Amino acid sequence: MAHLPLEGLRVIDFTVVWAGPLVTKMMAELGAEVIRVESKEHFPSSTKGLMAYPTKEMVATMGGLGSAYPNKDPGPDPYNRHAMFNVHAINKLSCTMELDRPEGMEAFERLVKVSDILVENNAVRVGNKLGLDWEHISALNPRMILVRMPPLGLTGPYANALGFGAHFEALSGVTYIRGYRDADPSKTTETFHMDDASAHGVLFAVLAALHHREKTGRGQMIEFPQAENMLQQMGEAFLDYSMNGRSAEPHGNTHPFFVQGCYPCKGDDQWIVFTLENEAQWQALLELAEHPAWGEDPRFATPLSRRENQDALDPLLASFTQQHDKVALFHLLQRVGIPAAPIYDEADAYRDPQFSERGFFKSMTHLETGTHLYPSHLSQWSGLQMRWETPPPMLGQHNAYVYKEVLGYSEEEYQQMLEQGLIGTEYARA
Amino acid sequence: MAQVLSDVRVLDLTDSIAGPFAGKLFADFGADVIKVEPPQGDPARRYGPFPGDRPHPEASALFLHLNRNKRGITLNLAEPAGRELFLQLAKSVDIVLESFAPGQMDAWGIGFEKLRMAKPSIVVGSLTPYGQYGPYATYRANDICYYAIGGPMNATGAADLTPIKKTLNMVEAQAGNTFASQVMAAFMVGRYQGEGQHVDVAAVESQLGSVDRRIIFLLTYQFNGETSSRSAGLGVSTLPMGIYPCADGYVQIMTTPAWAGRMLATLQDESLNAYFKEHPMAAMDPSTAEVVQEVLYPWLLSHTKQECFEEADLKNGWPVFPLSTIEDVMNDPHFEARQYFLEIEHPVAGKLRYPGAPWRMAEGGFEVRRAAPLLGEHNEEIYCEELGLSSEELARLRALGIV
């Protein structure tokens, strides 16, 4: 019986915000021992909530991600209770380590010597200051696979630019062309596609580097410029510019040559999307719509003319979709071979039979937040189950294990570190 | 030095966008990826854009980008003789990538169980919209559908307008990116433990498991019963947040309360500085928004998007980023300095600039070895030189429409 591919490997998880933590989540699912190395003196914003210690009143006014606590109650230790961290922290361990103190650096260097992979996605300056550079790391452990994932790379005029994924999407051309066709660009809201693209790219890169290490015995540094990785997903737009000098304009929900859109359904803010790829699908749709008069309109006689006259067609399609429940219409359209999907919010997703049957949402019990259904693995394998074992760790929860068993500190030394406040389980209060 | 995946061989049976994106990652890092097309070719050859907007099956931008570094053969799997040939080819590979309807490979007698009998370590990656089983297993979907049912499309766009998809084919590409990472993980089991795997990836789940807000919103719903929406956004701020016009276009701004000082350092306005000094809680006070706007708007309109970025972000660490166009990106000094875009010569499409290395490895990293294959370009090389067919046999298979 085979074991998971990363079993027996140790990962130092020095990541913040979203992109880095998703990579290490997948590594933990693939069997690695993932140890989050966290500073209790510096609360990392947008990693475990927006602030370390918001009050209940503040949470009530923040809404959205600001209030993603169980029952919107931040409790005495909000950072252990926030959805944005807990959702990708399953199977991970947490220890605290202050790399700007000599004792912390010594512990870190011990950890580097007994680990296989180090992933960090801090600003370039921060990573360099904390000794996450290859020179320092490889001197301690030449077999280490070090991943540094600054948004714009380690070099170049903007290497030190500061922002979140959404900002680098703006700089990369995504945000402008992602806009509505007929509304001001200020109507475009943020996405964080880059974070997700990075996580899967890094996982692939690390596995490839491990394969290389098996063959050569050597580790290496992977420079992972998150924006450049994302630009891979836009190749046709860059080639179009190179071929034709054409710089893409916002195209909303439309498709280059098919009729495609997002149409309202019964109820408040309920929608369906679909694409009409050929004549047969158009005819099937007209039949579902009980042969409306507009089906005979010469402007809509061919696939090409329908696409050309889509602005006139859209309200007519909407007059049809509006009469239907989005999920019922989804099944009707699928039955006649039209690629269609309802727009789901989270409640819809949790009650969907497809996702239930595949067991996509899995249960996990956490001491502080209770039992909930979490999104789980991104693939299913014929011969192996990915790991789903321990709940999201609380800050420093595994200090004793890491310091004594992994790093070899004595009980006495460990107690001394605790007393001196070098390690702990609470963030400093500002 | 050999590339990291130079000892890995992949048969890529996928077409269109998502599957080929995965094959491209393997190929970019050195794997011998053999793209298998039906005799009429991958539909992406017909998608474009094309040079001068003149359709040509060898010059589709989408195809050229997604299939660089691969070799290409044609093979008709609908015919028994084609499947026979496929089984011979599959013995020599580590990975098969496919995106047929669930069960199609088994129905043809070339599914995972069959392949594994000949090669126990083989990995078969299957990418479909909803995965290999479940009530929607045969349902159809594409870029916009994956985002609608799987991703946070409900929370993307303005509250008073329709939900809006991501741009181009980026959701398809991300499904391929996910497919690649999952198959690569299974390959490590096949190679080092000798046990093959069938890897089932659902494109919709690549969105449902996306860290672009979706998984966070999903657990938030579990925690407090709140669903996401276009009006809720990510939490409202009284300080500048969102997209604003400037002298020559638009910029995207983010100002957390902690960054108010960086904003003041950029705007350098005495009355605004005084206001913040007099009101220590200004960042939390809704009436601050108007006070800031009075200074911010004229400043923005007197600076270009590039000047805004340099002054605010690069100099003062206040995130104000340009809404770059594709043209801006391809002429940007940063990507220029890093030599990101690369020229690749193709016999039909000519010399074009492509996105370069997705990431950089100290050893054995990205290389451009060849442009995308012409339809059936490597038929002789692979069927005759590598598989040992005679040229007469190949001619016969051609005549039968198998190759």
Residue ranges covered by each domain of chain A:
10-232+358-419, 259-345
* Cross-strand pairs, B97: B12, B125
A64 falls in which pLDDT band (50, 70, 90)?
Answer: confident
The answer to whether A18 faces chain B, any CB pair under 8 Å, is yes
Question: To which H or E segment does residue B174 belong?
Answer: helix B170-193
Chain A nearest-CA distance from B328, in A, is: 8
Cα B400 from Cα B76, distance rounded (Å): 10
Return the number of other C-beta atoms located less than 10 Å from residue A301's C-beta: 14
B233 falls in which pLDDT band (50, 70, 90)?
Answer: low
B257 falls in which pLDDT band (50, 70, 90)?
Answer: confident
What's the whole-number mean pLDDT along residues B218-242? 84
How many degrees, rounded to 5, is the angle at CA A80 between CA A78 and CA A348? 90
Amino acid (1-letter code) at residue A186: S
Which tens digits make up the pLDDT trace of A44-61?
988 999 899 999 998 988
Q: Do A379 and B201 touch (CB under 8 A)?
A: yes
B1 falls in which pLDDT band (50, 70, 90)?
Answer: confident
pLDDT > 70: what percent of chain B?
99
pLDDT > 70: what percent of chain A?
100
Which tens digits make up the pLDDT trace of A337-356?
999 999 999 999 999 999 99
Which of B28, B116, B223 best probes binding to A when mutated, by most A CB atoms within 10 angstroms? Answer: B223
pLDDT at A23 over 80: yes
Q: Report the mean per-residue pLDDT for chain B.
A: 96
The answer to whether A402 faces chain B, any CB pair under 8 Å, is no
CA-CA-CA-CA dihedral for B164, B167, B168, B170, to nearest 10: -110
What's the whole-number mean pLDDT along residues A273-300? 97
From the list A72, A243, A340, the residue facing B49 with the nearest CB is: A243
pLDDT at B56 over 90: yes
DSSP string, A386-407: PP--SPPPPTTTTHHIIIIIIS
- CA of B143: how far to CAs of A51, B140, B169, B299, in Å? 35, 11, 6, 39
From the list B64, B161, B166, the residue facing A193 with the nearest CB is: B166
From the list A84, A186, A384, the residue facing B243 with the nearest CB is: A186
pLDDT at B170 over 70: yes
The answer to whether A173 faces chain B, any CB pair under 8 Å, is yes
- CA of A132: how far to CAs of A245, A371, B128, in Å? 41, 37, 39
Backbone angles phi, psi at A142, to 5 degrees: -65, -10
Return the number of other C-beta atoms located less than 10 Å from residue B388's C-beta: 9
pLDDT > 90: what percent of chain A?
96
Which residue is listed with tokens 């991501």?
B166
Which tens digits make up the pLDDT trace of A134-158?
999 999 999 999 999 999 999 999 9
Interface of A with B in 218-257 (CB under 8 A): 218, 220-225, 228-229, 231-244, 246-248, 251-253, 255-256
Q: Report the mean per-residue pLDDT for chain A.
A: 97
Task: Please tell me the predicted confidence (pLDDT) of residue B359.
Answer: 98
B232 falls in which pLDDT band (50, 70, 90)?
Answer: low
Return the number of other C-beta atoms located less than 10 Å from residue A162's C-beta: 20
Task: Please tell me the predicted confidence (pLDDT) of residue B238.
Answer: 85
| CATH top class, domain A259-345 | alpha beta
User: Which chain A residues have a beta carbon less than 8 Å from that of B157?
Assistant: 180, 187-189
Cα B255 from Cα A370, distance rounded (Å): 34
Which tens digits make up the pLDDT trace of A206-216?
999 999 999 99
Which tens digits make up the pLDDT trace of B313-343?
999 999 999 999 999 999 999 999 999 999 9
Task: Determine the residue of chain A that is closest to B236 in CA distance.
Answer: A62
Cα A361 from Cα A373, distance rounded (Å): 5
pTM for the complete prediction?
A: 0.98
Q: Do B188 and A211 touch (CB under 8 A)?
A: yes
- Count the residues in chain B: 403
What's the whole-number mean pLDDT along residues A175-199? 95
Return the number of other C-beta atoms located less than 10 Å from residue B112's C-beta: 22
Which residue is listed with tokens 């609360």?
A43
Measured between alpha carbons, how far apart are the two ends of chain A, in Å? 51
Q: ipTM strictly over 0.95?
A: yes
Answer for the pair B372, B346: CB distance below 8 angstroms, yes or no. yes
Task: Please tell me the predicted confidence (pLDDT) of residue A351.
Answer: 98
**Structure tokens given for A167:** 């900002």
Task: Please tell me the predicted confidence (pLDDT) of residue B231.
Answer: 78
Range in A122-126, A242-246, B114-118, B133-137 the model is least confident about: A122-126
Cα A312 from Cα A180, distance rounded (Å): 17
Topology match between the domains A10-232+358-419 and A259-345: no
What's the whole-number mean pLDDT along residues A112-119? 98
Task: Please tell me the predicted confidence (pLDDT) of residue A430.
Answer: 72
Interface of A with B in 41-70 (CB under 8 A): 45, 50, 62-70
pLDDT at B237 over 80: no
Q: Do A176 and B235 touch (CB under 8 A)?
A: no
From the list B29, B139, B228, the residue facing A208 with the nearest CB is: B29
Which residue is listed with tokens 């919709």?
B204
Tell me how many residue pairs between chain A and chain B have CB atoms under 8 A apart: 506
B17 falls in which pLDDT band (50, 70, 90)?
Answer: very high
pLDDT at B14 over 90: yes
User: Which chain A residues have a beta carbon less than 8 Å from that of B141?
Assistant: 339, 341
Q: How far is CA A387 from the centre of its chain?
A: 19
| A10-232+358-419 under CATH 3.40.50.10540, yes or no | yes
Task: Please tell me the predicted confidence (pLDDT) of residue B236.
Answer: 53
Amino acid (1-letter code) at residue A101: R
Cα A179 from Cα A251, distance rounded (Å): 7
By the 10 Å C-beta count (0-12 exposed, 13-18 middle, 19+ buried), B291 is classed as middle
Cα A342 from Cα A163, distance rounded (Å): 33
From the list B166, B210, B232, the residue facing A64 with the nearest CB is: B232
DSSP string, B71-130: EEEE--TTSHHHHHHHHHHHTT-SEEEE-SSTTHHHHTT-SHHHHHHH-TT-EEEEEESS
pLDDT at B259 over 60: yes
Helix pair B18-28, B170-193: axis angle to 10 deg: 50
